[in-house]
């Protein structure tokens, strides 16, 4: 190995050591550990909710969240006027799970205060939201109906949509699909043109009915059968 290569190897090793030290330092605080453990459920939470979990002041939580953001352990999502925080990825969750298995017990996550009937199913602008919509989105991801980041339907997804009458707009100027953060479940549901087509199809077929003047929707018996047949979601 020549001198330039040796120096590059040493620089890479030093960078790795510094990066590892930064991650370890970010985790080495009880309040930040509490925040990270709360985020292990895969949901996204506000700074206020996480400050409650960690039993610290909101201003203190903000500083801890900045530290975790800078270390790459968490990400921040903006939804309207709210900011939500979640783990940066499954690799971070696997790291924390390993550490928790050695030395920690999971910290209880805050319980959402959204009314139960709205948590189950509601509209989010022109697409479905709530627990059922989140389950549908996870099913579509797992079955390969959606691209890994949820930005578009795959060929298989388009075929399935066509089979149950969800009509996509070929000339839409909006995103064809997008992962929309669900404010009650704190996981993603399907937005974009695909999400709108899905809701329109369910309504057109009589699989759900809207509550006039409200965002709540109720699945009919035909809709419950369709959810089970298409998305393997059992509401019966």
The pLDDT tens digits of the residues spanning 154-170 come to 999 999 999 999 999 99
Has residue 88 got a pLDDT over 50? yes
Top-confidence residue, 99 or 36: 36
Residue pLDDT, tens place only, 94-109: 788 778 767 645 556 6
CATH class belonging to 3-103: mainly alpha
Residues in the chain: 236
First to last CA, the chain: 68
pLDDT of residue 80: 80
Has residue 113 got a pLDDT over 80? no
- pTM of the complete model: 0.74
For the chain, give the percent of residues with pLDDT over 90. 59
Mean pLDDT of the chain: 88
Top-confidence residue, 93 or 102: 93
Three-state DSSP class for residue 228: helix
pLDDT of residue 198: 97
Q: Where in the chain is the domain with CATH 1.10.10.10?
A: 3-103
183 confidence band (pLDDT: 50, 70, 90): confident
Has residue 1 got a pLDDT over 70? no
pLDDT of residue 161: 98
Has residue 6 got a pLDDT over 60? no
Contact (Cβ atoms closer than 8 angstroms) between residue 165 and residue 202: no
Has residue 35 got a pLDDT over 90? yes
Residue pLDDT, tens place only, 187-227: 999 999 999 999 999 999 999 999 877 889 999 999 999 99
The continuous run of DSSP H or E covering 188 comes out as: strand 188-191
pLDDT of residue 206: 97
Angle at 145 (CA atoms; ends 143, 147), nearest 5 degrees: 110
> Which string of b and e fits 131-154 if b means at least 16 CB within 10 Å?
bbbbbbbbbbbeeebbeeebeebb
Q: What is the mean pLDDT of residues 140-147?
A: 97
């Amino acid at each position: 190995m020549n001198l330039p290569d040796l120096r590059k190897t040493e620089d890479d090793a030093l960078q790795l050591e510094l990066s590892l030290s930064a991650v370890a330092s970010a985790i080495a605080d009880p309040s930040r550990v509490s925040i990270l453990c709360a985020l292990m459920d895969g949901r996204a939470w506000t700074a206020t909710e996480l400050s409650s979990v960690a039993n610290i002041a909101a201003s203190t939580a903000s500083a801890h969240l900045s530290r975790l953001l800078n270390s790459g352990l968490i990400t921040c999502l903006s939804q309207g006027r709210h900011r939500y925080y979640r783990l940066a990825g499954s690799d971070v969750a696997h790291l924390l799970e390993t550490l928790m298995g050695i030395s920690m017990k999971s910290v209880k996550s805050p319980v959402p205060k959204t009314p139960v009937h709205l948590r189950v199913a509601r509209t989010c602008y022109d697409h479905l939201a709530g627990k059922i919509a989140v389950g549908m989105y996870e099913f579509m991801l797992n079955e390969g109906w959606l691209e890994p980041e949820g930005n578009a339907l795959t060929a298989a997804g388009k075929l399935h949509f066509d089979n149950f009458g969800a009509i996509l707009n070929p000339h839409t100027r909006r995103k064809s699909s997008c992962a929309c953060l669900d404010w009650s479940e704190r996981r993603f549901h399907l937005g974009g043109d695909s999400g709108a087509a899905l809701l329109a199809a369910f309504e057109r077929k009589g699989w759900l009915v809207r509550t006039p003047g409200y965002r709540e929707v109720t699945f009919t018996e035909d809709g419950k059968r369709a959810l089970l047949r298409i998305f393997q979601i059992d509401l019966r």
